Copies of this chain bind each other. A is one copy, B any other.
Amino acid sequence: MPYNLNISTMLERAETLYPKKQIVSRTLDQIHRLTYREVGERTRRLSSALKSLGVEKGDRVGTIGSNHHRHLEAYFAIPGLGAIVHTINIKFSSRHLVNMINHAEDKVLLVDEEMLPQIEKIKDQLPKVKAYIVMSDSKKLPDSTLNPLFSYEGLLEGGDGNFQFVKDLDEYSPAGLCYTFSSSGTLKGVVYTHRGVVLHSLVVGLGETLALTEADVCMPIVPMFHVNAWGLPYAATWFGTTQVLPGPNFTPEILADLMSKERVTVAASVPTVWLGLLMVLEKGLHDATSLRAAISGGSAVPVSLIAAYDKLGIPLCQAYGMTETTPLVTVSRLKSYQEELPVEERIMFRAKQGILAPGLEMKIVGPQGKVLWDGQERGELLLRGPWVAGEYYRDDDSNGVFKDGWLHTGDIASIDEEGFIQLMDRTKDLIKSGGEWISPVELENAILELEGVLEVAVVAVPSQEWGERPVACVVLKDGYRDQLKQKDILEPIAEKFPDWWLPDEVLFMDELPRTIAGKFLKAKLKEQVIKYLNR
């Protein structure tokens, strides 16, 4: 019988089967503990309040917030109306914020109190926004130039706790929207459908992938404006999993504290956050042994980081995906017979991005067509499947990202005979020197193995002779600052690479510019380096 998958059924399951299970939500004021019954009722109140504000089926409602229970309620309340939750990355520039909000034509914006100033700055450029809602613990409205402005908790008070979610929706109806810089480098919107979110949630629950269950305590550290926090809040709600939402302005100490006190079993973030946490956990003051999966994505994980977590008894598990893929594509989970391998071989597999999730199709296409499964040959990773986007939102020109029914990821990958995918670089990040490719990721991995190196990013700078040349930007660990010179970096790695791969310069820096998600801002770094070197 034709049956439309619908996000609201996921929350309804939690309300009825797991009404006593908890969402633990850190805000600036306090730690909130709400049950799924309470979150369900509050979500219904929010849906009815948004409806009263004029939100209709198909409308976009923007959210500008950190990871907390109100953001989770918005995840369900907005699609529960048949509308689209547009999660906005607050770390984008004012110009990009204006572009996104106007391109999406957001009718209402939900904004964390501490983020109001950024929105006040651009409010006059947002003609389509009809109402603002401030997300804070208080019903009292703050001083603000936004108008009309409502308080979230005030609206909920007037809402209907028995509101019935919209059910007559085709499963291909849009439910979410997230903008990203596509592999072509321009800002594009990716739409998530009810069908895609439901299927992706099933896959996140597979024993084969993340195995998220009711018995877990799940902490998405990855921001909720970043591909739905990798889909974890949706899946966790469906399964009745306890959720720990770490809120705004967290530090590694705050995270370690939450992990230890709430007995978190699954947490998800990027390598740099895991690196920061490692420093705290290695002090031995927090007990994070409840963690059965430290999921890392967003960029490649160095072997050394996996090994360091192994020492703490915490399995660091790599996953790969992108905004266009909802996001789960691969998980680096050893096959049963690989568990018999020596530890060094196991860790080499675990340091790859892993095996394609059930439900997706892939091919890796190099200059000579499909690459061999030899772990060596390289090509661009192409994907398709039920949670892979087929187009950008209101955008006719996908710049070749969608072609012949495949998403062209822009990621250069190899695949070994066990089917483990390894990402080498983004096509746009590769350095073209003398007509040949240099892989910054491989240089970075080699430099990261050196004693005293905390972080490294290799960027391309223009060269009259070669087109582009690599430059390494290195942050040293405390105790090593000013102790290492350029030759201490280049000499030990020289034998691993052709001469012409070695960076022209090694610049020692105090820190590297990053996105809120913790990824290096390579474009910004490149600008700084070019200016500094005067190239």
Binding site for B on A (CB under 8 A): 1-3, 5, 9-10, 13, 16-18, 20, 172, 198-199, 201-203, 205-208, 211-215, 238-240, 335-337, 355-356, 358-359, 361, 384-386, 388-391, 402, 405, 418-419
Task: From B202, B211, B390, give the contact of A358 (CB < 8 A).
Answer: B202
A16–B212 CA distance with the chains assembled, in angstroms: 26
* A to B CB contacts below 8 Å, 18 in the list: A1-B389, A3-B384, A5-B359, A5-B386, A9-B359, A9-B361, A10-B358, A13-B356, A17-B356, A199-B199, A202-B202, A202-B203, A202-B358, A205-B207, A205-B358, A206-B207, A206-B239, A215-B335
Assembled-state Cα–Cα distance A17/B355 (Å): 8
Partner of A336, one of B208, B214, B390: B214
Name A358's closest neighbour in chain B (CB-CB). Answer: B238
In the complex, are the beta carbons of B202 and A172 less than 8 A apart? no
Chain B CB within 10 Å — which of A9, A199, A208, A389 has the most? A208
Partner of A3, one of B2, B9, B214, B386: B386
B208:A208 contact, CB within 8 angstroms = no
CB contacts (< 8 Å) of A356 on chain B: these are: 13, 17
Identify A16's interface contact among B20, B211, B419, CB under 8 A: B419
Q: Is the CB of B172 within 8 A of A2?
A: yes
Q: In the complex, are the beta carbons of A1 and B336 less than 8 A apart?
A: no
In the complex, the answer to whether A2 meets B202 with C-beta atoms within 8 Å is: no
Min distance, Cβ A348 to any Cβ of chain B, angstroms: 18
Min Cβ gap A336→B in Å is 4
Tell me the smallest distance from the CB of A320 to a CB of chain B, in Å. 15
Return A198 CB to nearest CB of chain B, in Å. 8
B199, B208, B402: the one within 8 Å of A213 (CB): B208
Name the B residues within 8 Å of A5 (CB-CB). 359, 386
Residues of B close to A240: CB separation below 8 A: 335
User: Are B388 and A239 in contact, with the CB atoms below 8 A?
Assistant: no
Give the distance in Å from the alpha carbon of A405 to the alpha carbon of B17 in the complex.
Answer: 22
Give CA–CA (A20, B207) in the complex, Å: 20
In this complex, what residue of B is CB-closest to A202?
B202
Given A206-B206, A207-B206, A208-B214: A419 touches B1 (CB 8 Å cut-off): no
How far apart are A381's CB and chain B's nearest CB, in angstroms?
Answer: 15
Tell me whether B212 and A207 are in contact (CB under 8 A).
yes
Given A9-B361, A203-B202, is A3 in contact with B172 using a C-beta cutoff of 8 Å?
no
Residues of B within 8 A of A385 (CB): 3
Question: Which one of B198, B211, B335, B389 contacts A214 once the chains associate, using CB atoms below 8 Å?
Answer: B335
CB distance from A373 to the nearest CB of B (A): 8
Q: How near does chain B come to A187, taking the closest CB pair, in angstroms? A: 20
CB of A80 to closest CB in B, whole Å: 15
Q: Is the CB of B419 within 8 A of A17?
A: yes
Give every chain B residue within 8 A of A206 (Cβ-Cβ). Answer: 202, 205-207, 213, 239
A17 contacts across to B, CB distance below 8 A: 355-356, 418-419
Which residues of chain B are within 8 angstroms of A389 by Cβ–Cβ distance? 1
Nearest chain B CB to A388 CB, angstrom units:
7
Q: How long is the Cα–Cα vector from A384 to B2 in the complex, in angstroms? A: 10
Question: In the complex, how many angstroms separate the beta carbon of A418 from the nearest chain B beta carbon?
Answer: 8
On whether A359 and B390 interact (CB within 8 A), knowing A18-B335, A335-B214, the answer reads no
Write out the residue numbers on chain B whose beta carbons fall within 8 Å of the beta carbon of A207.
Answer: 205-207, 211-213, 239
Bound-state CA distance A5–B385 (Å) is 8
From residue A188, how far is it (CB to closest CB) to chain B in Å? 15
Supplied contacts A3-B384, A202-B358, 15 more A-B pairs, CB within 8 Å? A2-B172, A3-B385, A5-B359, A9-B361, A10-B358, A20-B337, A198-B359, A199-B199, A201-B358, A205-B206, A206-B239, A208-B214, A211-B213, A214-B335, A215-B336
A208 to B213, CA, bound (A): 5
Is B239 a contact partner of A1 (Cβ separation < 8 A)? no
A1 in contact with B391 (CB, 8 Å): yes
Q: Given the complex of chains A and B, what is the CA–CA distance between A418 and B18 in angstroms?
A: 8
Given contacts A207-B207, A213-B208, A335-B214, contact A3 B202 (CB under 8 A): no
A239/B358 in contact, CB under 8 A: yes
Inside 8 A of A10's CB, which chain B residues have their CB? 358
Q: Which residues of B contact A18 (CB under 8 A)?
A: 335
Residues of B with C-beta under 8 A to A208:
205, 213-214, 239
Most B Cβ at <10 Å: residue of A201, A359, A402: A359
Chain B residues with Cβ below 8 Å from A358 are 10, 13, 201-202, 205, 238-239
Least Cβ–Cβ distance between A215 and chain B, in angstroms? 4
What is the distance, in angstroms, from A404's C-beta to the closest C-beta of chain B?
11
> Which among B3, B238, B355, B384 is the interface contact of A388 at CB below 8 angstroms?
B3
